[in-house]
């Protein structure tokens, strides 16, 4: 466990302030994303996963063939192939921002179960196998739904999970509360990068945004995200590029350009470093659905 904790990665989730849910539905042979955390909530459903190892905070367990877990903000987590022999693992990941539901709305009496479930999710919540199976078809269909239909179905799913029986908290750890001033700076930077990733952004420009010197800023970003500003920016760009490779019928060179890369060679190099495969191979291998709603 100690060796694993040294490799914790800050995931950049490609959700803007205008988006509701990011839904990824894919069939895979293995899990290749490192142990990570992010400020968004994550609902993760796995089918045909017997033998997969799940790590949530200080909890490490081998899972059954089906499971459904809600991970709260900034709680580190990962799923690993471990001893799973199945080559067709179905995984549906649904992510949404912490402020999707305003506080006033969450404090309505009808929303109390969801609000309390969100509070518990800081430890990670494993729902029972019976509940996971009963809600399976709805989870598998949600990626194919649009607009308000998707939003209402997700709200209904969250409510049904909130009132379900035999929920189990996974981790004894609670994520450390973020430094408020640092959080404001990270949020400001995040929003800036989300809006401007397609153009050239210099280190000096980003540092000026949060009133820091370039040296102090790069040290700050390294401490907060585990990566330099250039790596942080490239990860955001590669996140959008991955989305466009799956969802849009565009040439790879065109996707590279609209994601802020002026050199196709550099794009291919950075993409392979982040995804362990070329953009072409990624497009060929991705057999699922990835949508922002």
Both tokens assigned to 49: 């996963």
Residue 185's pLDDT is 81
Closest by Cα among 198, 117, 187 to 158? 117
Residue 180's pLDDT is 45
Both tokens assigned to 221: 């970003």
For the stretch 81-109, pLDDT in tens is 999 999 999 999 999 999 999 889 999 99
Residue 286's pLDDT is 61
| Predicted TM-score of the model (pTM) | 0.71
Closest by Cα among 202, 204, 196, 239 to 9? 239
Backbone angles phi, psi at 83, to 5 degrees: -110, 15
Residue 58 has pLDDT above 80, yes or no: yes
> DSSP string spanning 31-56?
--PPSEE-SSEEEEEEES-TT-EEEE
What percentage of the chain carries pLDDT values higher than 90? 54
User: What is d(CA 196, CA 60) in angstroms, rounded to the nearest whole number?
Assistant: 39
Residues in Cβ contact with 160 at an 8 Å cutoff, skipping those fewer than 6 apart = 135
Partnered with residue 77 across adjacent β-strands are 36, 56
> DSSP string spanning 119-178?
HHGGG-EEEPHHHHHHHHHHHHHHTT--HHHHHHHHHHHHHHHHT-S--EE--S--PPPP
Helix (H, G, I), strand (E, B) or coil at 69: strand
Residue 88's pLDDT is 92
Q: Which of 250 and 289 is assigned the larger pLDDT? A: 250
Both tokens assigned to 263: 């050199």
CB atoms closer than 10 angstroms to residue 16: 11
User: What is d(CA 152, CA 224) in angstroms, rounded to the nearest whole number?
Assistant: 35
pLDDT (mean) for 125-129: 97
User: What is d(CA 107, CA 119) in angstroms, rounded to the nearest whole number?
Assistant: 13
Helix (H, G, I), strand (E, B) or coil at 116: helix
Residue 182 has pLDDT above 70, yes or no: no
Residue 256 has pLDDT above 80, yes or no: yes
- With tokens 């399976």, the residue in question is 136
Residue 181 has pLDDT above 80, yes or no: no
Give the least confident one: 81-95, 108-122, 155-169, 221-235.
Answer: 221-235
User: What is d(CA 38, CA 67) in angstroms, rounded to the nearest whole number?
Assistant: 21
User: What is d(CA 222, CA 278) in angstroms, rounded to the nearest whole number?
Assistant: 26
Residue 79's pLDDT is 95
Backbone angles phi, psi at 65, to 5 degrees: -70, -25
């Amino acid at each position: 466990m100690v060796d694993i904790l040294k490799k914790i990665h800050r995931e950049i989730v490609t959700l803007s302030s205008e988006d509701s849910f990011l839904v990824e539905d894919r069939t895979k042979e293995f899990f290749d994303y490192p142990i990570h955390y992010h400020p968004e909530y994550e609902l993760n459903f796995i089918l045909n996963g017997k033998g997969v190892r799940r790590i949530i905070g200080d909890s490490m367990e081998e899972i059954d063939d089906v499971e459904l877990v809600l991970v709260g903000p900034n709680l580190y987590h990962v799923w690993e192939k471990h001893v799973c022999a199945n080559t067709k693992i179905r995984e549906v990941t649904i992510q949404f921002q912490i402020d999707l539901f305003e506080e006033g709305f969450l404090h309505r009496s009808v929303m109390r179960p969801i609000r309390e479930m969100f509070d518990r999710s800081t430890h990670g919540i494993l729902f029972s196998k019976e509940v996971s199976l009963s809600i399976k078809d709805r989870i598998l269909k949600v990626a194919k739904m649009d607009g308000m239909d998707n939003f209402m179905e997700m709200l209904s799913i969250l409510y049904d999970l909130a009132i379900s029986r035999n929920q189990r908290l996974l981790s004894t750890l609670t994520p450390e509360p973020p430094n408020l001033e640092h959080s404001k700076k990270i949020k400001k930077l995040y929003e800036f990068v989300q809006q401007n990733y397609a153009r050239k952004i210099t280190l000096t420009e980003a540092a000026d945004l949060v009133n820091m010197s370039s040296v102090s800023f790069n040290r700050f970003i390294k401490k907060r995200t585990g990566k330099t500003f250039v790596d942080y920016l490239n990860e955001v760009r590669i996140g959008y590029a991955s989305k466009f490779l799956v969802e849009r019928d565009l040439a790879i060179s065109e996707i590279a350009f609209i994601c802020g890369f002026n050199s196709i060679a550099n794009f291919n190099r950075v993409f392979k470093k982040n995804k362990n495969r070329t953009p072409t191979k990624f497009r060929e291998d991705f057999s699922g659905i990835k949508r922002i709603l």
